[in-house]
Amino acid sequence: MIIETQNTSDPNIINFFPSQKVLSDNRVEFIDSKSLRSSPLAENIFDLGGIVSIFITPDMISITKEESAQWQFLKPQILAEIMDFITSGQDIIIHHQSPKSEQDIQQAIISLLNARIRPAIQKDGGDIKFCLFEQGIVYVELLGNCSGCPYAARTLKDGVEKILQTYIPEVKTVKNISEKE
């Protein structure tokens, strides 16, 4: 995949032009943590640090950096994030439509675990396995380095639970399967 870049008259803005369409239509801008929830790509780019805003059109991703940030470090990382995300086939924008049936909710949980949560946990030598969704509670099993880790409870509450609740309103809490009575 080729991603062309274009400097603008503002030294804090660079436009990125992937060789394929980014959105089917519309335009969207991300400037705060609330707006980021609808785009995993925007969230990943903001996580690099030094980013002020992201403006996405069907053909372009325009990134505005902080004055103190340097393009020589940010640009390669942004290119990698865009390329990885587009080649993964994930949607740039997640449309928040609430799943209807228990089976739909379970499938949404599994998809989100596989797409967003497992890769992060696997980077630390662990893994997460979906076990059960029951009465708003998601039961998972932490494996590998996460099993017995002193930070496992924090990973579940501050990481897994927040992400699942953001995208799936039916999720009330996340528990380790060992907590199921």
High-pLDDT (> 90) share of the chain, %: 34
**pLDDT for the residue numbered 99:** 52
In this structure, are strands 173-176 and 137-144 parallel, antiparallel, or unpaired? Answer: parallel
Residue 49 and residue 73 in contact, taking contact as beta carbons nearer than 8 Å: no
Q: Which 8-state DSSP code applies to residue 58?
A: S
Average pLDDT for 143-161: 82
Could you read off the pLDDT of 84-136 as tens digits, one per residue?
A: 888 888 777 776 555 568 888 888 899 888 888 888 888 888 889 999 999 89
Token pair belonging to 158 = 């501050």
71-88 vs 40-47: helix crossing angle, rounded to 10: 150
**pLDDT for the residue numbered 120:** 82
Residue 8 has pLDDT above 70, yes or no: yes
**pLDDT for the residue numbered 9:** 93
CA distance 109 to 102: 10
Domains detected in the chain: 3-88 (3.30.1370.70), 102-179 (3.30.300.130)
**pLDDT for the residue numbered 118:** 85
Could you read off the pLDDT of 38-66 as tens digits, one per residue?
A: 788 888 898 899 999 999 888 999 999 99
**pLDDT for the residue numbered 125:** 85
Q: What angle do CA 91, 92, 98 make, to 5 degrees?
A: 60
Q: Left if phi > 0, otherwise alpha if psi is -120 to 50, otherwise beta: which for 125?
A: left
Question: Residue 176: helix, strand or coil by DSSP?
Answer: strand
List phi, psi (to 5°) of 138.
-100, 120
**Quick one: which of 14, 31, 27, 35 has its CA closest to 56?**
27
Mean pLDDT, rounded, of the chain? 85
